[in-house]
Structure 1
Amino acid sequence: MTTRLQPGDKAPDFTLPTDTGETVTLSDLRGGRVIVYFYPTAMTPGCTTQACDFSDNLDALKAEGYTVLGISKDTTEKLAKFRAKENLTITLLSDVDRDVLTTWGAFGEKKLYGKVVEGVIRSTFVVDADGRIELAQYNVKAAGHVAKLRKDLGLETA
């Protein structure tokens, strides 16, 4: 059973490479709120819907003080192609070893088409300015997720 993070938990720190060749360390973003979302695979329909939705809402989220990080097990090269193909503006991070995915409870057993499989669990977290989990959502739906998240956070819709 995968351990799941709960509101109030300390957000596990990480340093991961981006598709642009930089690295991002979560603890470097303290003082601001961070939306960390995990998705199964770049360039698939659901993941594209979700990434485009976050990109479309990025300016409004930034205006509310949020940084958005999308994390998958894809290579940085695949993430770069994903960014270019879909004109994404969010930060994409690569966790090919699945260490961060596992630590955050976003990799493990899940149901897929009625079967139990092991894989990435589509999940979203909000980390507060002090580095604690403010909101933890597992098994989220790709379509309409950002609108639901904005509502859950008490933000006006874009």
Structure 2
Amino acid sequence: MSTKTRTSPTPTSHQAQARQKLAALERRDARRHRNRLIAWGIGIVVAVALVVAGILTSLPTRSDGAHQAPDFTLTDTAGVTHRLSDLRGKNVVLYFSEGAGCQICIAQMGEIEKRQADFAAADVVVLPIVMNSRDQILADMAANKVTTPFLLDDGTVSKAYDTLGKGMHQGLPGHSFVLIDAAGQQRWYGEYPSMWLSPDDLLKEIKNHLVG
């Protein structure tokens, strides 16, 4: 009977197998490292995009092209009817906001109210406009000690001035200011996602856009 003898791998073949295993491990580690870098890079890009988007949404947007302001007739919380065209000869600022339920919106009007003398000196009438019922906005006015009557809009005027959906609610105005000069021309539109514009800054915008 013949027997077969099993040959053991030579040291050279052992070394070759070890090198192959090492190379395979190195390739696997390289792939993992590359995948981690790709994922890390994607994460940074997404984070930067989110930060940029947040910055852009917090900045005011402005439109400075002068054009004829849409006329309107609205009744305020005191029962007085206001027609925009009746205010020709005066500069008018329309202040659109979310109104009732938005405390900072009412507080904004309260701060403007405190500076009435400065707005009068600039020959400016400020008309706050909300899409609320009289009772709803009167309750918030009383809570914030605001006495300036609010004009009550059914959405027609807010839509005409393109303020709807600019804030937190699709069917309501954002925090918007529209400057209309004495000739009835819209001179400036400012939208403030931060829900606030100081009276000093508002007066500066008015003066800057009425120059010339």
TM-score (structure 1 length as normaliser): 0.81
After alignment, is 119-128 or 85-94 more displaced? 85-94
**Structure 1 residues not aligned, in runs of 5+:** none
In structure 2, what is the Cα distance between the partners aligned to 1:5 and 1:118?
Answer: 21
Partner of 2:174: 121
- Among all aligned residue pairs of Structure 1 and Structure 2, give the percentage whose two residues are the same amino acid: 27
Question: 32, 35, 38: which is aligned to 2:90?
Answer: 32
Which has more radius of gyration?
2
Amino acid corresponding to residue 159 of structure 2 in structure 1? T
Deviation at 1:121, TM superposition (A): 1.8
- Higher RCO (CA-CA < 8 Å; seq separation 6+): 1
Partner of 2:190: 137
Helix, strand or coil: the match of 2:172? strand
Is 2:202 the counterpart of 1:149? yes
> 1:54-83: per-residue Cα shift (whole Å, max 9, x none)?
111122101221101000101122233333
Partner of 1:41: 99
**Structure 2 residues not aligned, in runs of 5+:** 1-61
Contact 1:5 1:104 in 2 (8 A): no
Question: 162, 166, 171: which is aligned to 1:105?
Answer: 162
Contact 2:134 2:152 in 1 (8 A): yes
> 1:128-157: per-residue Cα shift (whole Å, max 9, x none)?
0000011111235333432211122348xx
Question: 123, 136, 139: which is aligned to 1:78?
Answer: 136
**1:111–1:31 Cα change, 3 Å:** closer
In structure 1, what is the Cα distance between the partners aligned to 2:110 and 2:91?
Answer: 20
Contact 2:163 2:173 in 1 (8 A): yes
Contact 2:64 2:188 in 1 (8 A): yes
> 1:28-65: per-residue Cα shift (whole Å, max 9, x none)?
00001001110012242221221111111122101221
In structure 2, what is the Cα distance between the partners aligned to 1:27 and 1:63?
Answer: 21
Instruction: Judging by fraction of residues, say which structure has more strand.
Output: 1
After alignment, is 31-40 or 117-126 more displaced? 117-126
Contact 1:20 1:80 in 2 (8 A): no
Summarize the alignment of residues 57-76 of structure 1 with structure 2, pairs less than 5 Å apart. 57-76=115-134
In structure 2, what is the Cα distance between the partners aligned to 1:111 and 1:142?
Answer: 8
Instruction: Judging by fraction of residues, say which structure has more helix.
Output: 2
In structure 1, what is the Cα distance between the partners aligned to 2:140 and 2:174?
Answer: 20
Partner of 1:50: 108
Helix, strand or coil: the match of 1:21? coil
- Taking only aligned residues, the RMSD between alpha carbons, in angstroms, comes to 2.3
Contact 1:38 1:124 in 2 (8 A): yes
Summarize the alignment of residues 3-18 of structure 1 with structure 2, pairs less than 5 Å apart. 6-18=64-76
TM-score (structure 2 length as normaliser): 0.62
In structure 2, what is the Cα distance between the partners aligned to 1:85 and 1:143?
Answer: 19
Deviation at 1:122, TM superposition (A): 1.4
